[in-house]
Amino acid sequence: MSNTDILFAPLSQRLPPALLALGAQLVALLAVAALAIVSRESGATLPLPFWIGLTGLGAALSSRWLGLPIWWQIINLVFIPLLWLTLQSGIDPAWFLAGLILLAVTSLGVIRTRVPLYLSSSRAAEALAARLPDQARVLDLGCGLGGPLARLAALRPDAALYGVEAAPLNWLIARLRLWRRARIGLGNLWDSDLSDHDVVYAYLSPAPMPRLWQKARAEMRPGSLFISNTFTVPGVEPDEVVELHDLSHARLLIWRMR
């Protein structure tokens, strides 16, 4: 995508969904606050739950206008009402702070990468192990807690294993779990060099796949394998599809770089 295309692309393609969702919430809060002020000055008194519900509805409509997917619209619809109900419950605020800290250290890279934490099944690692060339150098982009790499280390001790993870707690767990069996880097997948690897594995989300495919095409060597768990590259047919028949109905999509 050229700079001109990026400039005129919809906001939903230029900005992370989390930031757009926050913007939708702010727009709704400001609009409802203005309506509440006008209503009070006119002498009308409406109960607080009405304004809370109207804020959620406004946030959902704003997120729809911004082009966010349906699940973000639902999140925006219920966020303020659920927050208000939670505050009425009398739960110690320290629990919310603890939850926020846990979310930050396990999902720190989501805003930039648009990739939540997905856990690969053991069947994915086994299918992956069966397709590795001898002495393969394998990179797991967004390796999470290190599950697939740990399974590969047991099944294919000849392979050189690498992983990159953006969330600090996930990285620490993977690093301790794979001590001396794999090299796990703390960083962003977009900063990773793919050129030195025979196999690049990713279990990400639909959002980064077009950009990741362009990165793979630019950096990976001919004959190397780009393997995505479940999420496809729009408009590009894989060379092989492996159904995993696991609980999440996942599959491996395999492209041989040319």
The range of the structural domain enclosing residue 60 comes to 3-91
Same domain (yes/no): 86, 25: yes
Specify the pLDDT at position 116. Answer: 54
C-alpha atoms less than 13 angstroms from C-alpha of 231 in its C-beta half-sphere: 16
Specify the pLDDT at position 77. Answer: 92
Rounded Cα–Cα distance for residues 143 and 174 (Å) = 8
Specify the pLDDT at position 224. Answer: 97
What is the number of domains present in the chain?
A: 2
Measuring CA to CA, how many Å separate 63 from each of 24, 116, 212?
Answer: 5, 20, 26
Same domain (yes/no): 12, 129: no
**Domain end residue (candidates: 74, 91, 108):** 91
Same domain (yes/no): 60, 181: no
Measuring CA to CA, how many Å separate 79 from each of 12, 42, 90, 108, 166?
Answer: 20, 29, 18, 20, 26
Q: What is the pLDDT of residues 145-204, one digit of tens each?
A: 899 999 999 999 999 999 999 888 889 999 999 998 999 999 888 999 999 999 999 998
Rounded Cα–Cα distance for residues 51 and 73 (Å) = 18
Cβ-contact 156, 130 below 8 angstroms: no
Any domain includes 104: no
In this structure, are strands 225-229 and 160-165 parallel, antiparallel, or unpaired?
A: unpaired
Specify the pLDDT at position 148. Answer: 92
Position 107 pLDDT exceeds 70? no
Sign of CA dihedral 214, 220, 221, 225: negative
Residue range 91-120: average pLDDT?
62
Specify the pLDDT at position 147. Answer: 92
Residue range 245-258: average pLDDT?
90
Position 245 pLDDT exceeds 80? yes
Same domain (yes/no): 44, 136: no
Same domain (yes/no): 130, 232: yes
Any domain includes 55: yes
Angle at 68 between CA 64 and CA 73, to 5 degrees: 60
Same domain (yes/no): 129, 248: yes
- Which residues have a Cβ under 8 Å from the Cβ of 228 and sit 6 or more positions away? 201, 202, 203, 204, 209, 238, 252, 253
Q: What is the pLDDT of residues 18-59, one digit of tens each?
A: 778 888 899 999 999 999 888 888 887 788 899 999 999 999
Give the rounded percent of residues in the chain with a pLDDT score beyond 70.
84
Any domain includes 97: no
Same domain (yes/no): 29, 135: no
Look at the block and give the residue holding tokens 């479940």: 230
Position 125 pLDDT exceeds 80? yes
**Domain end residue (candidates: 91, 109, 138):** 91
CATH code at position 227: 3.40.50.150
Same domain (yes/no): 143, 225: yes
Q: What is the pLDDT of residues 61-102, one digit of tens each?
A: 998 888 877 877 888 899 889 888 887 877 776 766 666 666
Any domain includes 108: no
Within 133-242, residue ranges assigned H as helices are 147-155, 168-177, 209-219
Specify the pLDDT at position 13. Answer: 52
Residue range 229-257: average pLDDT?
92
Closest by Cα among 8, 90, 21 to 61: 21
Any domain includes 240: yes
Same domain (yes/no): 32, 76: yes
Any domain includes 99: no
Please tell me what DSSP assigns to residue 198.
S
Cβ-contact 118, 156 below 8 angstroms: no
Closest by Cα among 187, 75, 159 to 148: 159
Specify the pLDDT at position 114. Answer: 53
Residue bearing the bigger pLDDT, 113 or 257: 257
Same domain (yes/no): 63, 129: no
Same domain (yes/no): 157, 248: yes
Beta strand extents in 67-189 (DSSP E only): 137-141, 160-165, 183-186
Position 12 pLDDT exceeds 70? no
Any domain includes 107: no
Any domain includes 103: no
Same domain (yes/no): 134, 219: yes
Specify the pLDDT at position 5. Answer: 43
Indicate the pTM of the whole model: 0.64
Position 213 pLDDT exceeds 70? yes
